[in-house]
Structure 1
Amino acid sequence: MASITGLTPEDRLDIMDLYARYAWAMDSADLDAFVECYVPGGQLLDSHGATEGEEAFRAWLSLFLGDSAFPGSQHFYTQWKMQADGPDAATCNVYVVRMYQIPKTRNSQPIWQGYYTDDVRKVDGRWGFWRKRIHQAWELFGTPPDQVKSDAAPPYVDRLHHHGVSLR
C-alpha cells in the first residue's frame, strides 16, 4: 500500500537504508560500498561540480577522506522528505550533520551541516542515488557565512526579547 508520498513503507525504509549505507561507506572509508550506493549513470553534485562514474566516485571519496577531520568523523541524517516520482523513482530531501571526535577526548562537535536534495532510483530491486546534490546549510537562507554580520541576530530573537525571553 502506497502512502501519501506515493512510496510504500518498504520503499521508504529501503531508501533510509541507502542513506545509512552511504554514511557508513564514507565514515569507514569503504570505497566499494560508496560506489555501490549509486545506480549506473548516477552523479554527485557539490560545490566543486559533477562527479560521475565508479573511478570518479572513488577519487571523490579518497579526496574527502584526506580531509583533516578523519579519522573520527561521522555523518548523521534526519528529517527525510520523500516523494515518489514514479514506480521506481523518488526525490528526497534530508538534513545532514557531520560530527567530529575531538582528538585525545571523548567529546564530539559538529563540523559541518547541510542538506541533500537527491533523486533516487530503484534498479534490480535496490535503491541507489541517481543525482546526489550536497548543499551547505546556509543555502537554505541565501547568505554565505562570511557575509553575515557578526552582531546580527535572527528576527525571532527580537520577538523573544519582546516576550521577556533572553538567550544570554
Structure 2
Amino acid sequence: MKKIAMYAVVAVLFAGAGAWYGTHKKPAPAPITATAPAGVSGPVAAMMAETLPNDKGIKEALSKWQGKNLLVNFWAPWCAPCVEEMPELSELQNSELGKKIQVIGIGIDSPSNIAEFTQKVKVAYPIYVAGMSGTELSRQFGNTQGGLPFTVLIGADGTVKKTYLARLKFDDLKADLAALN
C-alpha cells in the first residue's frame, strides 16, 4: 500500500508540473514563410528565400542579391581556414574583380559570437548569421560533409557555377571569376 501511495504522489507531482509548464510555455514563433524570387530554383532559390540577420542583428532578405554574380562563403569564427581567407575575400571585394562579383559571408555560429568576431576582424563584405541552419543550406549546395569553409560561385542568372570545399585557392578562384559574364 505504501508503494501505491508513493506512486500516486509522484504521479500528482508530474501532472502538476506538466500542467504548470503547459500554462506557462511561450508559444512557438510563427514559421517564416518566404518564396524564392522568380527565375531561380534549387539551392539558389532556397538561399534567396532566406531572411537572415546581419552581424549587427538587422534582418535582411538575401533576395536583394538576386541578379548579381555572388561568391557565397560559409564560415565560422572557430574555423581557422575560414578566418585565414577572410582578408583575401575582403581584398577581392575591394578589387577591380569585386565590381563584377559580390562576396557575402554566411556565418555558422551564434549571433553573439559572430558579432564579437566582426567587431575584432573587419571584412569588406556583408556577413549574415545563419546558425546551424547554414550547415543545411550549404548541404543543399553539395557540401554533404558539412565542412568549412565552403564557398559557392553563383552566376547573375542564378546558376551555381562552382563550389569550393576547404580554404580557397585564390589563383583558381580568380580564373573562375574571369570566366563570368
TM-score, normalised to structure 1, is 0.24
Richer in strand (by share):
1
Comparing both chains, which one has the higher relative contact order based on Cα–Cα distances under 8 Å and sequence gaps of 6 or more?
2
Richer in helix (by share):
2
TM-score, normalised to structure 2, is 0.23
